[in-house]
Amino acid sequence: MKVLGIDTSSMATSVAVVEDNKLICEYTINTKKTHSQKIMPMIENMLKISDININEIDMIAVCEGPGSFTGLRIGMATAKGIAHVNSLPIVGVNSVEILAGNMNLCDKNICSILDAQRTQVYMGQYKFENNELIEIKNVDVIEIDKLIEELSNSNKEWILVGEAVYKYEDKLKVADNINIPAPSHNVTKASSLCTIAMNKYNKNIGVCDCYSINPIYIRKSQAEVEYDEKMKRLNDGK
């Protein structure tokens, strides 16, 4: 089975093709260029240089969120479009699970974090048992200080993975039981996405079509939050 993976949940744009247990190609760019500028040229160039025709793809794997609202919509729309034209199934994987998948040989507990703005992070906790990724705590939004306190008091060793580790690096340094992996692990990788998606597909978990899959936002956008606050002030003033 050849799986095309698409991830635009964070600043990095990542695409890959994995065939069974073999990574055929992967293309990741972590710059400030918008996902809409990057995603289709990346997919087209990757397939072309790898001599893969889109007709050879058997399934689409897409990051369903949480993460950048605009990024998620772009990645999801791209995945839906390719799946629709080629009548392919889609499997969605959440972003923090993908990050945990980067650490497949880790024997410590893994906490994945992505920036959710306003001193908050999107978070999920995992561990590997017998080469299988096990969920400890489901994806959620939490204040970074509360998360650090929780992990510090857990009496366990933690690997904290994700691009948000750089934003809060100074806070994380004070915790002796929290470690940060190499930079290559701190971006969501489409190859990890593909591997997790294939495992879900083989277990018939979360297999969708282009009509039934949608992004997972977890929280309201900043614009929605500001609108709600504005309406509350207006209502309170009545």
- For residue range 56-73, list pLDDT tens digits in order: 999 999 999 999 899 999
How big is the CA angle at 70 (ends 69 and 73), to the nearest 5 degrees?
A: 90
pLDDT for res 117: 87
* Cβ–Cβ < 8 Å for 50, 17: yes
- Per-residue pLDDT, averaged over 185-197, amounts to 96
Q: Which residue has the higher pLDDT, 204 or 229?
A: 204
Confidence bin at 236 (pLDDT 50/70/90): confident
Peptide bond before residue 66 is cis, with ω within 30 degrees of 0 = yes
CA distance readout (Å), 84 to 44, 60, 75: 17, 10, 14
d(CA 104, CA 127): 9
On the 0-12 / 13-18 / 19+ scale of CB atoms within 10 A, 3 is buried
For residue 43, the model assigns a pLDDT of 97
Q: Is the pLDDT of residue 232 over 70?
A: no
Reported as a pLDDT band with limits 50, 70 and 90, residue 39 is very high
Give percent of the chain with pLDDT exceeding 90: 82
Does the pLDDT of residue 230 top 90, yes or no? no
Please tell me the predicted confidence (pLDDT) of residue 227. 47
Proportion of the chain above pLDDT 70, given as a percent: 92
- Expressed in angstroms, the distance from the first to the final Cα of the chain is 61
Domains 2-95+188-225 and 97-185 agree in fold: yes
Q: Which pLDDT value is given to residue 34?
A: 85
Q: What's residue 222's pLDDT?
A: 53
Q: Say which range, 88-97, 130-139, 192-201, has the weakest mean pLDDT.
A: 130-139
> What's the CA gap between 46 and 40, in Å, rounded?
10
| Domain boundaries, given as residue ranges, for the chain | 2-95+188-225, 97-185
pLDDT score for 32: 75
Domain 2-95+188-225: CATH architecture, name and number where available: 2-Layer Sandwich (3.30)
| pLDDT tens, position by position, 15-38 | 999 999 899 999 999 887 789 999
Tokens of 179: 């470690």
Contacts 24+ apart (CB under 8 A), 21-27: 23/191, 24/50, 24/52, 25/49, 25/50, 25/52, 26/189, 26/190, 26/191, 27/190
Strand-strand pairing, 132-143 and 109-115: unpaired
Q: CATH for 97-185, among 3.40.50.410, 3.40.640.10, 3.40.50.1010, 3.30.420.40?
A: 3.30.420.40
**3-state helix/strand/coil string of the chain:** CEEEEEECCCCCEEEEEEECCEEEEEEEECCCCCHHHHHHHHHHHHHHHCCCCHHHCCEEEEEEECCCHHHHHHHHHHHHHHHHHHCCCEEEEEHHHHHHHCCCCCCCEEEEEEECCCCEEEEEEEEEECCEEEEEEEEEEEEHHHHHHHHHCCCCCEEEECCHHHHCHHHHCCCCCEECCCHHHCCCCHHHHHHHHHHHHHCCCCEECCCCCCCCCCCCCHHHHHHHHHHHHHHHCC
Each residue's pLDDT tens digit, 71-126? 999 999 999 999 999 999 999 999 999 999 999 989 999 999 999 988 999 999 99
